[in-house]
Structure 1
Amino acid sequence: MMTTRLSVLEKTAYGAGDMALTISIISASILIYAFLVQVVGLTPVDAGWILMIVRTIDAISDPLMGLLTSRVRSRLGRYRHWLIIGALPFGLSLWLLFTSFGETYAQKMAWSTGAYIFNSLAFTVLAIPYISLIGVITPDPQERLRANAFRFPMAKVATLIVSTLVPWWVTQGTDPHRSYALAFMVVGAVSVAIMLFCAFNVKERIVQEAAPPPLAQQIRGLRDNRQWQVISLAMVVLFVGFLVNGSVAIIYGSAFAGASDGVGIALFMSMGSVGGILGPLLSTWLTRRYCKVKVFRYSMYGSALVSVLAWALVGAGEFWGATLFYLLCSVVSQINTPILWSSITEASDYGRYQSGIDASGLAIGMISFCQKLGMGIAGPITGYLLAGIGYTAQGTPSAETVAGLAWIMLLVPALFYLLTGWVMRYYVINNDYYARMVAAGRLPEGSA
């Protein structure tokens, strides 16, 4: 297998792309739900259904974008030109996502839905090519892990900025509508700049000259690719857990943990980001010593355990205990992240060696859809759970509502973490398996 060592500059540029995308993911997970409910004034259920509507539209846009990336090439390669084309609309969409328009409830809901759809489509134009980049900048699976080890801590730096400075900023003024809009005008501009930095400083080294097979053939290839199906299912289940947790984090931090001002909320929310930086770094250390698939599985079981312990041991108003456990939960739950995203390309390659059908474009598009499907499913789940415990944005929550926030924040995600670990029992492509597959040009003996 050809080995390509990536420079620090290229790894940094690759990570910068995910910084831009993560700003949107975090904004559309831990902040948008609170913005729609607490600032725009939508009900928790309606806000949840907006998330589901947008992700349903992604069912079309993500696979279509995957097909486009497999068919449209330029002198920059197959993927990088999309990053340049999509950067500016993406930045604009972030600003629009956190604006509010209309006098009536229906007008506000229509504006929020439309802005979210635009943001989601702009995200897709960048995300599908970006996810695919790791498969063409190096063929070495260990180097892919190293690149992802740069990528995810950098992405979590973006998470840290958005999840701490934005909540702090919007509590400083008297008009949260204006504060959110101004914050994301700046955030959108920064996103454009760092996405362009990524596009101009990575190199596509692996060139696939063969024309992509017909769509029907690619669909058949994915239908028979069990490893891709395992990763897809794990993606859906995992992101349901992540988004239920992320959607209520800022509400849990204030109503349950007792963060009473912008500084307290910023400190609490920063723990999720710090954990997201430490988790991938710990993952790199662990995967050098142990099978990466086992590391993935046991990190999911560990995440469930820590979540249950947080629910059992931390009481309402115990800010420092809640903050410490939020950090610990975030570290353990993010260990899987570099493994998950590097496994997508390897699962796609598995299908090519299995059937001879290169369905990489469609495979990446559908993986992104599975991520967004999980995020979308989490929307109504979160909305109905919050409605079920009697949560509203107005007034002081009752003791029963506060207790309910704890099990929504901790026990519900724990269930989905356990399910993700169980699903990954059926994934077999570790580094040794992948090396043998590529060297032989076919699946190893005894493969599923």
Structure 2
Amino acid sequence: MTARAADRVGRGEKLAYGLGELASSLYVHFFGFFLLFFFVDLGGLAPAAVGLMLLLTKLIDAVTDPMMGVIADRTRTRWGRYRPYLLWGAVPFGVTGAMIFAAPEMSKGALLAWAYVTYTLTMLAYTVVNVPYSGLLGSISPSSSERASTTAYRMVFSSVALISIGLFGTTLVRVFGQGDEARGISMTMFVIAALAVVCILITFSATRERVPPARDNGTVSGDLLALIRTPAWLIVATAATLAPVAIAARAGSALFFFKYVVRDNGLPVFLFFDRVALFYTALALGQVTGVILANYLQRRFEKHHLIIWAGAIKATAILVFYVIPLDAVWPQTIAQSFVGLGFGMMLVMAYAMFTDIAEYVEWRSGRQMTGLVVSASIFATKAGIALGSALPGFAFALTGFVAGEVQSEEAVAGINLAFALIPIMAILPAGIAMMFYRIDRAMIATAEAELAQRRASAV
């Protein structure tokens, strides 16, 4: 499908759009890497308490994400429907994110309360920015191929965020902390928050919305009913919930795995990379490769078929990593790069499918509800990330983990469960769900042509 000249998104605009993902992904990856470690290993909180926090905040997201999507769909300003929220939400997004790791000296009960309040506020700010940002992808062009290409740029910046955390995360923590890990984590998060604000404002200023808003959006209840009656969305939402569990569980347990199972001393093993930095960098480089590969393959193959293959690659690589000896640094690094390859392919296809489904719903029902479709899909992804981030805490609590001590065999088994076995078990049903997806390239081409005619006649 070749896009018309008016529907094409320039490279500079795609880069600007991708910067918004850099902001969000720096938060997601930094939280996934350091949040559990900061509050459990450094703060002394119970693993299950922090895990429960990660899950309970998703109850709020279950309301606020779709609500934000509905609000954005009905917003009318000179900047469009979705872009204004990038302008209005950028600074709160930065401030609340910086607050999480800026906890002063306090009792464990007060620290837990601080974690709940600041993390909840950050997730609310994340919703205000990220839901409209993702909705913008659906209106940046009426062409599925242009949206898929823009999604690839977005996912490249997601990979850049992961590479940045892998390359510089532990190094910045060491430099800023000077022996105080908690201070190092806090200072590093301040830098990330400031960078995120700048990125979001650039995305606002350098993008545009090309799909005109509908004159009448209909009722909210009607939109919700149309959404839950769309089998394709239910399938993608199921996969979008399960697939992120794998990456989030591995991210949340990685520091524990290398500290307590591998018993790594934190010294560099290659240039300035320690084992943890090498682990994350391999994931990120694999993810970039997967993003580029998926962007090419989606022109020839169906998106849901590619997701199934990507999940198989990811699950197999996690299993291979698990059975490799603990001291085999480079074989583990290679296996981890294939985990990233599968993850990158899945990301590109999933986000492109979100906007395809929004277009499909508009074609079949006449309802323009991109924000709602995308926000509900994002909530499914966030729920998966939260579940994956919480599961290590529960696994550690059930198997007797004690912070700062030599772990028992049961505790080591709990870390391995969170790091390898839970991720594999989450990927398999996600792949099975995608086998029932029925929106193909031919159907999207038909939808695009008919919607273009409708919009032209409505002018």
TM-score using structure 2 length: 0.91
Q: Residue by residue, what CA displacement relative to the aligned partner does 1:198-255 show, whole Å, maximum 9, x if unpaired? A: 1111111111231221111112111211111111111111122221122112222333
With over 3 angstroms needed to count, the CA separation of the structure-2 counterparts of 1:183 and 1:380, relative to structure 1, is closer
Q: CA deviation at 1:432?
A: 2.3
SS in 2 for 1:336: helix
Q: What do the CA deviations read for 1:24-43 (whole angstroms, capped 9, x no partner)?
A: 11122222122221222212
d(CA) in 2 for partners of 1:379, 1:14: 27
Unaligned runs of 5+ in 1: 443-448
CA deviation digits over 1:46-69, x for unaligned, max 9? 110110121111112111111110
Shift of 1:400: 4.9
Q: Which residue of 2 aligns with 1:307?
A: 318
Q: C-alpha root-mean-square deviation of aligned residues, in Å?
A: 2.0
What does residue 298 of structure 1 align with? 309
Measured against aligned partners, the alpha-carbon deviations of 1:57-93 in whole angstroms (never above 9, x if no partner) come to 1112111111110122211111111101111111112
Tell me the secondary structure at the aligned position of residue 335 of structure 1.
helix
Q: CA deviation at 1:116?
A: 0.3
**Deviation string for 1:233-284 (max 9, x for gaps)?**
1111112222112211222233334542164122222222222212111212
Structure-2 residue corresponding to 1:446: none
Residue 71 of structure 1: which of 53, 56, 74 is its match? 74
Please identify, of 184-193 and 240-249, the stretch whose mean Cα deviation from structure 2 is larger: 240-249
- Shift of the alpha carbon at 1:178? 1.8
Q: Which amino acid aligns with 2:48?
A: V
What is the distance in 1 between the residues matched to 2:113 and 2:336?
Answer: 34
The match for 2:456 is none
Give the match for residue 237 of structure 1: 242
Deviation at 1:300, TM superposition (A): 0.8
Cα separation, partners in 2 of 1:362 and 1:289, compared to 1, 3 Å? closer
Amino acid corresponding to residue 143 of structure 2 in structure 1: D
Correspondence for 1:445 = none
Partner of 2:88: 85
Q: Which residue of 1 aligns with 2:457?
A: none
Does residue 347 of structure 2 align to residue 337 of structure 1?
yes
Pairing of 1:219-298 with structure 2 (within 5 A): 219-261=224-266, 263-264=273-274, 265-298=276-309
Equivalent of 1:98, from 74, 77, 101?
A: 101
Matches of 2:279 and 2:422 in 1, distance apart?
A: 20
What is the aligned counterpart of 1:391 among 379, 396, 401?
401
Alignment partner of 2:435: what SS? helix
Q: Percent identity?
A: 25
2:361 aligns with 351
Q: Deviations over 1:339-386 (max 9, x none)?
A: 100110111222222233333332222112212222222344221212
Task: Tell me the CA shift for residue 431 of structure 1.
Answer: 2.3
Deviation of residue 440 (structure 1)?
Answer: 4.3
Match of residue 47 from structure 1: 50
Q: What's the CA shift for 1:403?
A: 4.7
The residue number in structure 1 matching 2:189 is 184
C-alpha separation between the residues in 2 aligned to 1:275 and 1:32? 24
1:200 to 205, 208, 229: 205
Are residue 418 (structure 1) and residue 456 (structure 2) matched?
Answer: no
Letter in 2 for 1:278: T
The answer to whether the Cα contact below 8 Å between 1:257 and 1:318 also exists between their aligned partners in 2 is no
Question: How far 1:390 sits from its partner (Å)?
Answer: 2.9
Secondary structure of 1:435's aligned partner = helix
